[in-house]
């Protein structure tokens, strides 16, 4: 069964603290940011070799959250947003990393215009 937003809702909420957005882009690069994109400077660029390290570091950080955070907040959530310049292989690489690193929650959604502009400037 496919899990989609309820009728009338355009998006699904997520836990800001435990979320990374990964955007496969041109030249086998991956733009990413933690939480919500409220500052374009938060967007970083990595290659496929660094992708695993980024995921593992975030998982490690989540384990150290204070007790007031729920068990769900301690599990990594990844939003995958391929841009129009990425290759199918780049998306498959990210999905492979989800399985290898046992990321329990991930989704593939469209990249926003704002994100695409930021990625293009950073590349």
CATH of the domain at 52: 3.30.420
Residue 44 has which token pair? 């970083």
What global pTM score does this model have? 0.85
Tell which residue, 122, 123, 100, has the closest CA to residue 41. Answer: 122
pLDDT digits (tens, 9 = 90+) for 76-123: 999 999 999 999 999 999 999 999 999 999 999 999 999 999 998 987
Query: What's the mean pLDDT when you consider all of the chain?
Result: 87
User: Is residue 96 in a domain?
Assistant: yes
Question: What mean pLDDT do residues 33-50 have?
Answer: 91
pLDDT band at 5 (very low <50, low <70, confident <90, very high): very low
* Residues contacting 40, CB < 8 A, separation 6+: 118, 121
> How many structural domains does the chain have?
1
The Cα 79–Cα 14 span in angstroms is 9
Question: What mean pLDDT do residues 15-33 have?
Answer: 91
Tell which residue, 82, 67, 61, 49, has the closest CA to residue 19. Answer: 61
> In terms of residue numbers, what domain contains 80?
16-114
User: Is residue 1 in a domain?
Assistant: no
User: Is residue 30 in a domain?
Assistant: yes
User: Is residue 123 in a domain?
Assistant: no
């Amino acid at each position: 069964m496919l899990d989609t937003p309820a009728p009338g809702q355009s998006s699904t909420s997520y836990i800001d603290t435990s979320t990374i957005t990964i955007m496969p882009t041109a030249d086998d690069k991956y733009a990413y940011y933690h939480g919500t994109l409220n500052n374009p400077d938060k967007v970083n660029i990595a290659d496929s070799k660094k992708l695993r390290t980024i995921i593992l570091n975030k998982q490690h950080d989540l384990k150290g959250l204070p007790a007031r955070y729920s068990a769900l907040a301690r599990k990594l959530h990844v939003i995958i947003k391929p841009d129009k310049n990425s290759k199918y292989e780049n998306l498959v690489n990210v999905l492979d990393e989800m399985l290898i690193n046992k990321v329990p929650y991930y989704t593939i959604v469209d990249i926003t215009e704002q994100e695409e502009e930021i990625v293009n400037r950073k590349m």
